[in-house]
Amino acid sequence: MPEQITLYHDVHKASPYSHKVELALLEAGASFKSHGFDVYSKPSWFVEGVNPITGKIPALTYGGPDVPPEQPSPLSTKLTESSVILEFIADVFPSSDLLPKDPVSRARVRFFADAVAKHVETPAVQFLRGLGTYEKLLEGLEVVQGLLPEEGKYAVGDTFTIADAAAAPFFARLELMVKTDVGGFEPGMGKKLGEALEAEKFARFRKYRKALLERESMKKSFDLDQMEVAWRAIFAKQS
Ligand SMILES: N[C@@H](CCC(=O)N[C@@H](CS)C(=O)NCC(=O)O)C(=O)O
């Protein structure tokens, strides 16, 4: 019997960090429970029993008895930080090839995921919240684009890895900003970002984004129309 896995995420599934983990679990063919709650009013069972360290999502429990998500067992392992959880999933499901076997490719996967974290995550979140410019985000995307192989669908060749799981949630959300102009930024800025991404110099990025958005795991975990409704509600509350 495989160990139980429960993924904790925000109720709207808006978090790109939780989305990374969900993608990896889907790609690995893992059987898991998924439990969403309001991260702005966290239940005490979560803060006390699942992630007392940071209180953030995503968090994952692994092993222990099969319990309801709201009654986490002291016997399960508790994990947090999306990058750590991605590596863990790759280790638990080695046949998924989420991490390649040879050391050079493994290092490339980690380097790419680290570059996404350093150059795309913060500018994307800042721009979305109206705290940063789309130009800064474009700079980060150019850095990451520069790491893509000339050939091969994904970050490190033709196999989907945790590097792709780390990037895909941000690219899906970029698509949403561009198509709907929803976010904490000035009206029209999402469209401007979209226009800039249509430039010839982003052709490689667009090809990669398309490959990621076409994955079955992405189709199962990200519904653009539903996310637009969720974002409108979130940003209406914050304005
Ligand atoms: N570095 C963390 C970031 C996680 C994170 O920022 N989670 C946010 C949601 S997107 C959260 O839990 N916010 C609620 C809080 O900080 O209390 C990761 O990669 O897992």
Could you read off the pLDDT of 60-82 as tens digits, one per residue? 999 999 999 999 999 999 999 99
**Longest Cα–Cα distance in the chain:** 53
Determine the pLDDT at residue 124: 97
Cβ–Cβ < 8 Å for 4, 31:
no
Q: Tokens representing 168?
A: 């895909």
Question: What one-letter code names the amino acid at 45?
Answer: W
Sequence ranges of the domains in the chain: 5-96, 103-238
Is the pLDDT confidence value at 100 over 80? yes
Return the exposure string of 155-180: e unless at least 16 CB atoms fall within 10 Å of the residue's CB, then b.
bbeebbbbbbbbbbbbbbbbbbbbeb
| Closest ligand 1 atom, residue 81 Cα | 20
State pLDDT tens for residues 107-146.
Answer: 999 999 999 999 999 999 999 999 999 999 999 999 999 9
Determine the pLDDT at residue 1: 74
Q: What secondary structure letter does DSSP report for 186? A: P
* Sheet bearing 33-37, strands edge to edge: 33-37, 5-10, 59-62, 77-80
Ligand 1 mean position to 58 CA, how many Å? Answer: 7
Determine the pLDDT at residue 232: 92
Please tell me if the CB atom of residue 64 comes closer than 6 angstroms to any atom of ligand 1. Answer: no
Domain 5-96 sits in CATH 3.40.30.10: yes
> What's the rounded mean pLDDT across residues 142-165?
97
Distance CA 133, CA 126 (A): 8
Determine the pLDDT at residue 94: 97
Ligand 1 mean position to 199 CA, how many Å? Answer: 32
Ligand 1 mean position to 80 CA, how many Å? Answer: 9
**CATH code of domain 103-238:** 1.20.1050.10
